[in-house]
Structure 1
Amino acid sequence: MSDYILTYSKTKFYPLEPVKEDINIIDIAHALSLMTRANGHFKHFYSVAQHCISCCKEAKQRGYSQRVQLGCLLHDASESYISDLTRPVKKNLSAYFNIEAKLQRVIYDRFGLGDLTEAEKMQISEVDDALLYCEFKELMDVQVTTSIPQMAMAHDFSQRDFISVEQEFISCFESLVQLQFK
């Protein structure tokens, strides 16, 4: 039995000992565009990639830095290599949480975000939680928290073809990386 997964780009990726150079935005975009939010319990297919794109757009609309926008786009990137668990399960599995956190740090480092400040991480988390609220309200008609987040824009929660979402994810990434390193 091997300790690696074979990614979309046919890279042998070792999720327990990730190598920064093996992280590929094409693998991330492809995998996340095929993974469902809410463990597949929404009224229609809605991908993690679509969620990340919405987070990125919300951060931009809020006037957050390009670093935070990129952080929002990539905040669930570890899921492309290790999948995801629901929040109630994840919080009770410290080993998984540690693996996810380590991998996410390597991913952020790979794309120039290894030095995110606590304030930037908080902005990313706030956007993520705001989108979570809106997604559950729109796609399940359930209010998951008592406080309604202030949104900077309306978001599209419609069912989309995974290929178009994958392409938009890559386009957002390329745009932000070009701006970040000019």
Structure 2
Amino acid sequence: MADYILTYTKKKFYPLEPAMADIHIEDIAHSLSLMTRANGHFKRFYSVAQHTVNCCKEAQSRGYSERVQLGCLLHDASESYISDLTRPVKRNLPEYFRIEEKLQSLIYRRFGLGDLSEAELKQIETVDDALLFWEFQALFDEQIFDTAPAKTMDHDFSQRDFTHVEQEFLHLYRRLTGG
């Protein structure tokens, strides 16, 4: 059997040899809307797509550029093709990091973000870490950092139907890209 996955839009996708033409926003939105955060250990279903939607909204609330907002929406997009590993495991698998980085870079290029600056990447990382903290606070009643990071708005951590989250993800994508 060939080393590909079959995506939601029925494309053959080769995760170890990804092609930009095979990356589709519909596949990303659908897959991430069904993928759980925290490896499924939160008290209720909370998807990676809902996380990235919240990140995008936080970036907008902070007044970050539309490029950074789109970067926040897409920052976990590689997971739609290769899944995710928990941070403790991921740290010990350097080959996974290389695969993830190669794919995420290609995804950013595919959607016009291949030239994100270090400052823009830092803004995306800061938003991602802030949402991570507030997700664990809201969904696990755990404070995972010594100091609570700033947030500029309240976020929806409720259990939502995946189809609604998928549509919101696509709506934000279209608003930010005009597509």
TM-score per shorter chain, which class? over 0.9
1:148 shift after superposition = 0.6
Aligned to 2:143: 143
Aligned to 1:120: 120
1:67 shift after superposition = 0.2
1:2 shift after superposition = 1.2
Q: How does 1:34-53 map to 2 (within 5 A)?
A: 34-53=34-53
Aligned length: 179
Q: How does 1:12-31 map to 2 (within 5 A)?
A: 12-31=12-31
Deviations 1:13-41 (Å, cap 9, x if unpaired)? 01111100110000000000000000000
Deviations 1:65-123 (Å, cap 9, x if unpaired)? 00000000000000000000000100110000100000000000000000000000000
Aligned to 1:86: 86
3-state secondary structure, aligned to 1:8 = coil
1:178 shift after superposition = 1.3
In the superposition, the TM-score normalised over structure 2's length comes to: 0.99
Aligned to 1:178: 178
Aligned to 2:7: 7
Aligned to 2:62: 62
**Matched residue type, 1:121:** L
| Structure 1: distance between partners of 2:92 and 2:68 | 28
RMSD (Å) for aligned C-alpha atoms: 0.7
3-state secondary structure, aligned to 2:178 = helix
1:62 shift after superposition = 0.2
1:131 aligns with 2:131: yes
Moved over 6 A (4+): none
| Structure 1: distance between partners of 2:170 and 2:5 | 22
**Matched residue type, 1:164:** H
> Structure 2: 5+ residue runs without aligned partners?
none
**Matched residue type, 1:158:** S
In the superposition, the TM-score normalised over structure 1's length comes to: 0.97
Q: How does 1:144-159 map to 2 (within 5 A)?
A: 144-159=144-159
| Structure 1: distance between partners of 2:134 and 2:148 | 9
> Structure 1: 5+ residue runs without aligned partners?
none
| Structure 1: distance between partners of 2:55 and 2:92 | 26
| Structure 1: distance between partners of 2:91 and 2:117 | 23
